[in-house]
Amino acid sequence: MTKKTRRRFSDEFKADAVSLVIDQGYSVSEAARRLGVERSVLDRWCRKHRQQVSGTPERQEDDRDAEIKKLREEVRKLKIEKDILKNCLGMVPACRHRNPAAAYAQQWRQRRSRLLFGGMTPLKNVARAAFWT
């Protein structure tokens, strides 16, 4: 499998391509097709040229993009954690209760009955106190 090499364009070529779009009125798509470059590449060159002309720093966009990327990553992690907790509700008995103390007490009662009665179910219609006498 051969690896594609990345094409590099000189600053003069970039300036000429941008002037086709800005000065001569070509659309970005048409100019990109005629020059043999991708439309997104030529569009990026035009945006960079407009920013340099207007004097707005490119750094503000970089900061915003970095913050957006960070926030999206955080949202992705939180969604994964939420899905894990949702799945936990069906698997772990302690997760079924909102009150952890009640869940612990219920688990202990189940274990105690298994230990005392050998895992057998208690007799029906017999008062609980009758087991302890």
Residue 97 pLDDT grade (very low, low, confident, very high; cuts 50, 70, 90)? low
CB 23 within 8 A of CB 31: no
Return the domain boundaries, the chain.
10-56, 59-118
Query: pTM here?
Result: 0.40
The reported pLDDT for the residue numbered 62 is: 79
Write out pLDDT tens, residues 57-86. Answer: 666 777 888 899 999 999 999 998 888 887
Q: Which two tokens stand for residue 123?
A: 């007799």
Cite the DSSP H helix spans in the chain.
11-22, 28-35, 39-54, 59-91, 100-117
The reported pLDDT for the residue numbered 129 is: 56
Average pLDDT over residues 13-18: 91
Residue 51 pLDDT grade (very low, low, confident, very high; cuts 50, 70, 90)? confident
